[in-house]
Structures are given as C-alpha cells and as structure tokens.
Amino acid sequence: MKAFVVDRYGRKSGIRAGNMPVPEPREDDVLIQIHAAGVNPLDSKIRDGEFKLILPYRLPLILGNDLAGVVVRVGSRVRQFKPGDEVYARPHKDRIGTFAEFIAVKEDGVALKPKALTMEEAASIPLVGLTAWQALIEKGQLKKGQKVLIHAGSGGVGTFAIQLAKHVGATVTTTASAGNAELVKRLGADIVIDYKKDDFAVILKDYDVVLDTQGGNTLEKSLRVLKPGGKLIGIAGPPDPDFAKEMGASWFLKTAMRFLSYRIRKAAKRHGVSYSFVFMRADGRQLSQIATLIDAAAIRPVIDRVFPFESTKEASAYVETGRAKGKVVIKIR
C-alpha cells in the first residue's frame, strides 16, 4: 500500500512516499481502508523526535493520527463493527499511521462516522475532538454558567473546543488575531481577545478553566486569570506526574516529568489553582458521543484546506506555518 513514512527522526529527514505492507489485523482489530486523514501539529513533533522518550516508535514509521474510512475486515473478537461500516478513529498512540491506504485499529478506538459528514469532514474531527473533550469535560469538568478561556481559538483544537464549551453552556473567551475574530464569534465565542494588540492576563479575571494550546509564557500568564480553585489544562506541555502515572512511565521518566513541570505546578499552587497536562488518548466511546453532537448540529467541522494524498508533504508544511483556520485534511481515496 502507498504510505508516507519517517525513516529517521529530525526535521531535515522529513517524510517520504513509499510502499508498505498492508497491516494484518489482530483479533481485536478493525482493518480500515482510509478515505481521508487529518494533519496535525502532533505529526511534525513525532517526525522531529520530540516524543521519542514517551513514544518509542520503531522506524520506519507511517505518520498520521486521525482518519475516516470504511471497515474491510475485522478480527475474530470484534463485535461492534462489520465490513462496509463507515467509521472514524484516532488510533492508539503506539499504533499510529493514517497517512496510508489501510490501517489496523483496536476496536475500542473506533466509532461509526457522523452521518452528517463527508469522509474529509469526519477525518478532521477525532484528534481535536478527543483533545477538547478530555481537556474540558474530563479534566476541566466544565459546567453550565462557568467561564472558560480557550487559547488560539481559530486553530484545530480551538475551533472544536469553542463549540463544545458553548454547547455545555459556558461563557467562552478566546484569543485570536483580528482577522479570525469573525470566525471564532460564529463558532460561539462570547469574548475575543486580539492577542497581537491586547494582553489577556491584564483584561481577564475569575475564570474557572483555561485550555492552553501554546505552552511557554502563555501557559504561565494563564494562571493569573483563574479564580481560586480554577483549573489550567495544558496540551503543549510540560507533562506532569499524573500523566507519567497514567502512561505507566519508568522511574526515570516519572522523575523527568516531575522536574519538567515543577515550576508551573509550584506557581499554580501559589495562585490556589491546579495545573494538569493532557495527552489525548484514543477512545471510541467518546467519539460516539461526539458523533451524536455533530449529527444534532451542535458542532460542525472547520476545515481550512483539503490536499490530495500525493501532496501530504505540502499539507504538513502548511500545518507547520501555524496559519491554518481549523483543520487540514488529506484525501486518500
């Protein structure tokens, strides 16, 4: 099968088009013919080796972290799916590879595709949808009437998170450029801060939850807008001890993560708030709940561009510019 592959870690090495064997499904796997795949900043970070301590992949590695397609075969223990089902998925983190014509995904990471969406639209959802869900609903426990700040509202995670938070009944504030203000307002943002002109940390206060997609200085400044007992949730790091525990990390990794997040956790404690890191996990049950929301028109996909499969390198380069509004997708079939 055709696929886009990483041979060596590092930006210079890049990805190449190549032929790889069609994966053989295990007994609890679903073999999917991929019709479309989402392109995410995570793909470049994996290619560059940023996660090689956490995710020790064997090279050569097929990149790609979310997909929509059709089931062609199922393992002997699979009960939920059958050949011909239209599905969407985020493969488990140790078995990625959606920039390809086929993939075998564990049954519990797969869900039936939202009926209202095309394959390209459905492929744009799993990674950002699960990230927003696990950050806001699971960790943040966001409720009706609460105030949430979502950084970078026009990005892939941001465009989904705004709609999800609005659906919950929260008051939604986001940071975006002036050029993207209309887009994020249409998605449900109540307050838009122009990050080029205004300092969100000076303007905002008494927030219940902040979803940070940026890391660094933005993460630290976000502590100042939270009320006592508020929650700062980061998806750009640094990883914290709870995450190390969740992933069953070695003693060395647990120690490293405790050290990496020490400063932000200490600062959060000083402010009377909490910091937690989310590295989104595959979850077919949550994808089914998201599909219900999409089919009820509570959330819609936001797609910037669709690239043909042979232009996967160009699609990745475009995502790396950081200028995409919503998601970038490659059409495989």
Q: What is the mean pLDDT of residues 55-80?
A: 96
- Could you tell me if 243 and 279 are in contact, meaning their C-beta atoms sit under 8 angstroms apart? yes
Residues 113 and 133 in one domain: no
Residues 154 and 117 in one domain: no
Residues 186 and 244 in one domain: yes
pLDDT of the residue at 236: 92
**Strand stretches in 187-235, DSSP E:** 191-194, 207-212, 226-234
pLDDT of the residue at 84: 98
Give the separation between CA 294 and CA 297, rounded to whole angstroms.
5
Evaluate whether residue 32 is within a structural domain: yes
Q: What is the DSSP letter of 134?
A: I
Evaluate whether residue 287 is within a structural domain: no
Q: Is the pLDDT of residue 91 over 90?
A: yes
Q: What is the pLDDT of residues 170-224, one digit of tens each?
A: 999 999 999 999 999 999 999 999 999 999 999 999 999 999 999 999 999 999 9
* CA dist list (Å): 269 to 133, 212, 230, 263, 265: 25, 17, 11, 10, 6
Residues 71 and 190 in one domain: no
Q: Is the pLDDT of residue 148 over 90?
A: yes
Residues 324 and 211 in one domain: no
Name 89's Cβ contacts closer than 8 Å, sequence gap at least 6: 32, 66, 67, 105, 109, 110, 111, 126, 282, 284, 287
Q: Is the dihedral of CA 293, 64, 283, 240 positive or negative?
A: negative
Cβ atoms within 10 Å of 324's Cβ, excluding its own:
21
Residues 117 and 151 in one domain: no
Q: Is the pLDDT of residue 24 over 90?
A: yes
| Confidence grade of residue 23 (pLDDT, cut at 50, 70, 90) | very high
pTM value > 0.85:
yes
Give the separation between CA 21 and CA 102, rounded to whole angstroms.
9
Integer-rounded Cα radius of gyration of the chain: 19
Evaluate whether residue 285 is within a structural domain: no
Residues 198 and 68 in one domain: no
Q: Is the pLDDT of residue 247 over 90?
A: no
Range of the domain at 20: 2-124+301-331
Q: Where are the alpha helices (DSSP H) in 193-261?
A: 200-203, 216-222, 241-246, 251-260
Q: Coil, strand or helix: which one is 69?
A: strand
Tokens at 98, concatenated: 């959606």
Residues 120 and 39 in one domain: yes
* Total domains present in the chain: 2
CATH assignment at residue 236? 3.40.50.720
Evaluate whether residue 228 is within a structural domain: yes
CATH assignment at residue 99? 3.90.180.10
Evaluate whether residue 293 is within a structural domain: no
Q: Is the pLDDT of residue 93 over 90?
A: yes
